[in-house]
Amino acid sequence: MEQEHIKILLIEDNAGDARLIREFLVEERYVNIEWVERLSAGLDHLDREKIDALLLDLSLPDSQGLETFARIRHQNPEVPVLILTGLDDKDLALEAVRKGAQDYLVKGQVDSNLLIRAIKYAIERKKLDEKLQRTMKELEAKNQELEDYTYTVSHDLKAPLVTIQGFSELLGTQYADQLDAKAKHYLDRINQGSENLARLVSDLLELSRAGRKNREFEKHDFNEILSISIHGLEGKINEKLVEFEYQHDFPEVYCDDIRLSQVMSNLIGNAINYMGEQEKPKIILGWNQQGNMYEFWVKDNGIGIHEEDIGRIFNIFERAAESSAEGTGIGLSIVKKIIQIHGGNIQVESEFGKGSTFIFTIPIKGEAKNEQK
């Protein structure tokens, strides 16, 4: 197979270094190298001609340090860049790599083989990088499409469902004396079925909204968020006589408080739903600080989760075999999305028969991923 031609631009103000680099590549007939001494000349060249890789010295007469790389990157994000650096400038070169340069080469430690290999790797890596970016964008678009679709479908299902519920209620109240036991039983089944469907539709709607950040994050007292969630679950808590243990006062967090309270309601609600036959149901709520993240947990002594189910319960509609009849299998997907838009993550540790601990993180400074509005 014929070797493809590679066009390289070298931006280097030291003539000696430039000569050496060109000599290293002289044997490689399929490599064309152009040399300029200034950043401005390099940028002009890049405007005129498409090149496959750029060899860049960061200290040039018209630009110094990371600024040199930043200007190249800004105008030519698609070009793979290899930084040429001296021994004492390695940290700077590494910083440029962190900001998107493909690699760096230390002058004086380069030979012909190393140089050509680094150039080829840089070109291939950049191609893979771009492919990955494209795939990520496609995936994001598909996800968005799916969310929009879920929203539309669940939204459209709501109206006929409300009609069914309304008429079935009318039937049950206005015609109660004309219905025999069998008819009443059938009506009960219709009501039960439509209640389940209503829960499913509202969970699906919630899920399609959960990935969007629709309110600015602000500082909120987590103690208050928690007390709202617990207040909403009071009926269940009293019915099952659940004991709560708070490890200590909670901090203030940057968040959408309504969403975070939804997370806590879901996790505590699940902890209660999946208590099983536990005689002394107990839920422990706690937190600590891990680097730049807060870590919160909800620990229960309920039925626990089999190891093989742990990996899938955060996926939509996935439920463990021991799930209650009521659930929709959507709650934890909503929770995960909400945590992710806050820039955190969620996981579970569990032992079947002993209980589960759901642990999630929230950045202390409150920077969020996925800033969709």
Contact residues for ligand ADP (CB under 6 A)? 270-271, 274, 300, 302-305, 313, 319-320, 323, 327-332, 356
Pick 51 or 263: Cβ nearer ligand ADP: 263
State the Cα–Cα distance between residues 78 and 88, nearest whole angstrom. 28
Pick 166 or 311: Cβ nearer ligand ADP: 311
Pick 25 or 200: Cβ nearer ligand ADP: 200
State the Cα–Cα distance between residues 105 and 125, nearest whole angstrom. 16
> Is the dihedral angle over the CA atoms 285, 289, 295, 299 positive or is it negative?
negative
Report the residue number whose CB is nearest to ligand ADP.
327
Pick 71 or 236: Cβ nearer ligand ADP: 236
Which residue is listed with tokens 């709202």? Answer: 228
Instruction: For the CB of residue 211, give the shortest distance to ligand ADP in the complex, in Å.
Output: 16
State the Cα–Cα distance between residues 91 and 366, nearest whole angstrom. 29
State the Cα–Cα distance between residues 69 and 75, nearest whole angstrom. 10
State the Cα–Cα distance between residues 166 and 168, nearest whole angstrom. 6
Instruction: For the CB of residue 329, give the shortest distance to ligand ADP in the complex, in Å.
Output: 4
Give the orientation angle of helix 15-24 with respect to helix 112-174, to 10 degrees: 80
Instruction: For the CB of residue 223, give the shortest distance to ligand ADP in the complex, in Å.
Output: 22
Pick 69 or 287: Cβ nearer ligand ADP: 287
Instruction: For the CB of residue 359, give the shortest distance to ligand ADP in the complex, in Å.
Output: 12
> Is the dihedral angle over the CA atoms 164, 167, 172, 175 positive or is it negative?
negative
Instruction: For the CB of residue 125, give the shortest distance to ligand ADP in the complex, in Å.
Output: 39
Pick 304 or 363: Cβ nearer ligand ADP: 304
Instruction: For the CB of residue 300, give the shortest distance to ligand ADP in the complex, in Å.
Output: 5
State the Cα–Cα distance between residues 268 and 148, nearest whole angstrom. 29
- Overall size of the chain counted in residues: 373
